[in-house]
Amino acid sequence: MSSDSPAIPTAALERAAQLRAELARHNHAYYVLDNPTIPDAEYDKLFRELQALEQAHPALVTSDSPTQRVGGAPLPQFEQVRHSLPMLSINNGFRDDDIVNFDRRVREGLKTDEQAEYHCELKFDGLAINLRYENGLLVNAATRGDGATGENVTSNIRTVRAIPLRLQGDNPPAVIDIRGEVLMFKADFARLNARQRDAGQREFANPRNAAAGSLRQLDPRITAQRSLRFFAYGIGVLEGVELPPSHSALLDWYVQLGIPVAAERRIAHGAEGLLTFYRDIGLRRAQLPYEIDGVVYKVNAVAQQAQLGFVSRAPRFALAHKFPAEEAMTIVQDIGLQVGRTGAMTPVARLAPVLVGGVTVTNATLHNEDEVRRKDIQIGDTVIVRRAGDVIPEVVSFVPELRPADARPFVMPALCPVCGSPIVRPEEEAVARCSGGWVKCPAQRKGGLLHFVSRRAMDIEGLGDQLVDQMVERNVVTTAADLYRLGLGSLATMERMADKSAANVLKAIEKSKSTTLARFVYALGIRHVGESTAKELARHFGGMDALQNADEAQLLDVPDVGPVVARSILQFMADPMNVELIAQLRANGVHWEEGASGARPKPLAGLTFVLTGTLPTLTRDDAAERIEMAGGKVAGSVSKKTSYVVAGSDAGSKLAKAETLGVPVIDEAALLDMLPPSNESES
Ligand SMILES: NC(=O)c1ccc[n+]([C@@H]2O[C@H](COP(=O)([O-])OP(=O)(O)OC[C@H]3O[C@@H](n4cnc5c(N)ncnc54)[C@H](O)[C@@H]3O)[C@@H](O)[C@H]2O)c1
Ligand SMILES: [Zn+2]
């Protein structure tokens, strides 16, 4: 900073100071307390604003500015570890432009016009760790801390089973710093939070904070109870062995050393190659068992990495390409109620519109009355909304600092907002319900019908939300049985319904008459009877009459059916209106193939299948259903336990995995040969 630098406007000075203070507060909550109060996207906004201010007025930059530093200070309770080589952050990109610019800067830095070679990997959402091995033995583990000094968490890391205490192979390096991310898988996170809740303890905001909180425990026995994982992605000091020439070779070497490396990684060339990887992973993100917040691109050749070097807090040879944030902040304008098909009252937050995960969200579920109370969400609150993958948006928490004086708690009304029947809540249940039943409550009729026609139930295409709404409102349809009495005349009078689409709907209704018992049972919408229970019931009883006449003991014989489910089925079947509905549906032509009870041949019992690619005639769901009907299991990913991989066209990584594991790969024809002959019509 020189004295002749241009004067900085007071407003900029003040704003910068304000931003720095605010960011410092959030850094403390995030890095030290593992308990952030605002979503990352909000933090990033503040961070970028400060960056922009500092860029416009370079004299504003102070050495302690959050833009110049990494992470947060180490906790004093831990012994401090000075990193031999600093542990840095990575620069972020969000838009395609940012990636194109990164690629251009890389080529400029390398002084070449040739396409650059990159290693593409995932950006794991956990915390960075440095593992030091000496002569193959784990001697120290340290968190990133402020990048220069981290916390010694060796005894905690020793409890993480994914991290080997000794490297594989005969010639381990004298010294190696293996760097990577400690993280918690989604399923383990859900289990941990359920346990915390039951124990009346603080829940973690997300898997990242849970991983950090679990690792930075003073008592390693607590860490040992938390399922932590590890993926390696980098290196610090290396002595006694030559560094592999590329990043991909380094990770290959790690695999040989017995260090976990995520399978999703790839070499790509040029900006186009990077963007293709980004889109690919984006499509699979929700299916990954752990959270990622983006992907990372690294120039692959180590010599080129050295040529490009570092800026203050990050390398020039790497870029994190972030996904649209799955969490955002907005205001709860009201809390309404949605009435489900069983009368369940779901409180729904009406939100000031906000962009989450690339989609504008105006409603988010609050799940049930108890959840609203537990999370203490009030009308007027500023809340964090989360929308991950296809999951419906939910309210995660509120921001205490931003609660207005006139915030109002939610009160469950006494009467159903749709039909005016009393709302009841049995003591042992979490859910309040409208007591009107579908006879009195149009909301329940609509919900029931939508469930009946849904893809996994009777699969009637073209009968969407709005059409069902109209049919119920105009009393054209009261029960599912009425659907099979619809004529072109009554359908064509519905709004926005051309003759042609009316004819298509009728065709779809007609087609749905030929179904399976499992689908029919599921479609009835019996409480607690989901798709898999319906399948078990169909398999066990073989026919509808047997199921309708089953007593409690017989029901309890069915795998998957416990006392609660059995009672719910008995109640449903004892209701004369339901008996009448089933009879009418059958009288109107709904039919399925009945089998002898439990006697269906199960030639695939004990076998596990994985489906991949597009099969020539069967849809994935059909194929899975046929396999399950024949006693087989269908799994989502290939492992040594997989019996067969059924591959169609455009089969991807699962096929490759099957080949490396030596799992037999068959086509649809071979699968059909293994199945018992079917009388069910396919089309
Ligand atoms: N909500 C809040 O209050 C708050 C406060 C502070 C920071 N934050 C969030 O923390 C992040 C900034 O923290 P940061 O400096 O750790 O940066 P970062 O997390 O965005 O990126 C750097 C880190 O990425 C990790 N990483 C994951 N996969 C990697 C891979 N394949 N290769 C290399 N590194 C990989 C490493 O741990 C590395 O330290 C931002 O997302 C910010 O929103 C939020
Ligand atoms: Zn009602």
The pLDDT > 90 percentage for the chain reads 74
Pocket of ligand 1 contains residue 22 by CB under 6 Å: no
Q: Is 41 annotated as a binding residue?
A: yes
Expressed in angstroms and rounded, the spacing between residue 449 Cα and the centre of ligand 1 is 46
Please pick, among 45, 111, 123, 640, the residue that the annotation labels catalytic. 123
Give 347's strand partners: 337
Is the model's pLDDT at 679 over the cut of 50?
no
Amino acid identity at 217:
Q
What ligand 1 atom has the least distance to the C-alpha of 125?
Answer: 27
Expressed in angstroms and rounded, the spacing between residue 278 Cα and the centre of ligand 1 is 18
Q: What is the pLDDT of residue 42?
A: 92
All structural domains of the chain, each given as residue ranges with its CATH number in brackets, are: 10-68 (1.10.287.610), 82-322 (3.30.470.30), 327-424 (2.40.50.140), 441-512 (1.10.150.20), 517-592 (1.10.150.20), 608-674 (3.40.50.10190)
Write down the mean pLDDT value for the chain: 92
Cα separation, 365 vs 347, in Å, equals: 6
Question: Which residue, judged by its Cα, is nearest atom 10 of ligand 1?
Answer: 40
Query: Mind listing the pLDDT tens digit for each residue in 300-328?
Result: 999 999 999 998 789 999 999 999 989 99
Please name which of 469, 375, 383, 377 lies closest in space to residue 418, comparing C-alpha atoms: 469
Cα separation, 175 vs 126, in Å, equals: 25
Is the model's pLDDT at 678 over the cut of 60?
no
Q: Is 642 helix (H, G, I), strand (E, B) or coil?
A: coil
Q: Is 123 a catalytic residue?
A: yes
Q: Counting ligands in written order, which one lies closest to the CA of residue 48?
A: 1
Pocket of ligand 1 contains residue 40 by CB under 6 Å: yes
Please name which of 236, 235, 231, 234 lies closest in space to residue 211, comparing C-alpha atoms: 231
What ligand 1 atom has the least distance to the C-alpha of 39?
Answer: 1
pTM: 0.73
Alpha helices in 588-647 (DSSP H): 620-629
First to last CA, the chain: 76
Q: Is 441 annotated as a binding residue?
A: yes
Query: Mind listing the pLDDT tens digit for each residue in 176-191?
Result: 999 999 999 999 999 9
Q: Is 281 annotated as a binding residue?
A: no
Please name which of 230, 224, 214, 139 lies closest in space to residue 181, comparing C-alpha atoms: 230
The DSSP secondary-structure symbol of 637 reads S
Query: Mind listing the pLDDT tens digit for each residue in 519-544?
Result: 999 999 999 999 999 999 999 999 99
Pocket of ligand 1 contains residue 36 by CB under 6 Å: yes
Structure tokens at 132: 């030091």
Q: Counting ligands in written order, which one lies closest to the CA of residue 447?
A: 2
Query: Mind listing the pLDDT tens digit for each residue in 110-163?
Result: 999 999 999 999 999 999 999 999 999 999 999 999 999 999 999 999 999 999
Pocket of ligand 1 contains residue 453 by CB under 6 Å: no
Query: Mind listing the pLDDT tens digit for each residue in 50-80?
Result: 999 999 999 999 888 888 888 888 888 999 9
Lowest mean pLDDT of 120-124, 182-186, 198-202, 579-583, name the range: 198-202
Strand-pair category, 292-299 with 117-124? antiparallel
Cα separation, 474 vs 22, in Å, equals: 56
Cα separation, 192 vs 208, in Å, equals: 13
Please name which of 437, 440, 438, 434 lies closest in space to residue 415, comparing C-alpha atoms: 434
Pocket of ligand 1 contains residue 44 by CB under 6 Å: yes
Q: Counting ligands in written order, which one lies closest to the CA of residue 72?
A: 1
Query: Mind listing the pLDDT tens digit for each residue in 383-400?
Result: 999 998 778 999 999 999
Is the model's pLDDT at 242 over the cut of 50?
yes
Structure tokens at 522: 């599921």
Structure tokens at 187: 């399923």
Q: Which residues fall inside 5 Å of ion ligand 2, going by CB?
A: 416, 418-419, 421, 434, 436, 441
Expressed in angstroms and rounded, the spacing between residue 557 Cα and the centre of ligand 2 is 35
Pocket of ligand 1 contains residue 233 by CB under 6 Å: yes
Residue pair 89/70 in contact by the 8 Å Cβ criterion: yes
Expressed in angstroms and rounded, the spacing between residue 336 Cα and the centre of ligand 2 is 14
Structure tokens at 48: 């970028």
Query: Mind listing the pLDDT tens digit for each residue in 427-449?
Result: 888 899 999 998 899 999 999 99
Expressed in angstroms and rounded, the spacing between residue 445 Cα and the centre of ligand 2 is 9
Expressed in angstroms and rounded, the spacing between residue 586 Cα and the centre of ligand 2 is 28
Q: What is the pLDDT of residue 397?
A: 93
User: In this structure, what is the dihedral angle of CA atoms 395, 399, 402, 405, given to the nearest 10 degrees?
Assistant: 70
Task: Write out 551-601 in H/E/C secondary structure.
Answer: CHHHHHCCCCCCHHHHHHHHHHHHCHHHHHHHHHHHHCCCEECCCCCCCCC
For residue 112, how many other CB atoms are within 10 A of its CB?
11
Residue pair 205/36 in contact by the 8 Å Cβ criterion: yes
Is the model's pLDDT at 3 over the cut of 70?
no
Q: What is the pLDDT of residue 6?
A: 67
Question: Which residue, judged by its Cα, is nearest atom 29 of ligand 1?
Answer: 123
Higher per-residue confidence, 636 vs 444: 444
Cα separation, 395 vs 331, in Å, equals: 11
215-to-179, 289, 503 alpha-carbon distances in Å: 15, 20, 61
Average pLDDT over residues 462-482: 92
Tokens 């410092």, located at residue? 24
Report residue 606's pLDDT band, with 50, 70 and 90 as the boundaries: confident
Report residue 683's pLDDT band, with 50, 70 and 90 as the boundaries: very low
Pocket of ligand 1 contains residue 38 by CB under 6 Å: yes
Expressed in angstroms and rounded, the spacing between residue 441 Cα and the centre of ligand 2 is 4
Q: Counting ligands in written order, which one lies closest to the CA of residue 211?
A: 1
Expressed in angstroms and rounded, the spacing between residue 89 Cα and the centre of ligand 1 is 7
Q: What is the pLDDT of residue 598?
A: 52
Is the model's pLDDT at 680 over the cut of 60?
no
Structure tokens at 626: 């046929």
**R_g over Cα of the chain:** 30
Q: What is the pLDDT of residue 150?
A: 95
Residues 6+ apart with CB under 8 A from 187: 289
Q: Is 416 annotated as a binding residue?
A: yes
Average pLDDT over residues 410-418: 96
Question: Which residue, judged by its Cα, is nearest atom 13 of ligand 1?
Answer: 71
438-to-159, 228, 463 alpha-carbon distances in Å: 54, 47, 19
- Type and span of the H or E element at 11: helix 10-27
What ligand 1 atom has the least distance to the C-alpha of 70?
Answer: 15
Q: Counting ligands in written order, which one lies closest to the CA of residue 421?
A: 2
| CA atoms lying within 13 Å on the CB side of residue 162 | 17
Pocket of ligand 1 contains residue 181 by CB under 6 Å: yes
The pLDDT > 70 percentage for the chain reads 97
Residue 292 backbone phi and psi in degrees, to 5: -130, 150
Q: Is 177 annotated as a binding residue?
A: no
Please name which of 508, 511, 479 lies closest in space to residue 584, comparing C-alpha atoms: 479
Cα separation, 522 vs 457, in Å, equals: 6
Amino acid identity at 143:
T
Cα separation, 439 vs 449, in Å, equals: 13
C-alpha 589: how far from chain center = 40
Q: What is the pLDDT of residue 613?
A: 87
Q: For ligand 1, pick from 19, 31, 40, 230 the residue to mutate: most ligand atoms within 8 Å of CB.
A: 40
Question: Which residue, judged by its Cα, is nearest atom 30 of ligand 1?
Answer: 123
Is the model's pLDDT at 235 over the cut of 90?
yes
Cα separation, 298 vs 291, in Å, equals: 20
Question: Which residue, judged by its Cα, is nearest atom 17 of ligand 1?
Answer: 89
The conformational region for residue 475 under phi > 0 = left, psi -120 to 50 = alpha, else beta, is: left
Residue pair 351/427 in contact by the 8 Å Cβ criterion: no
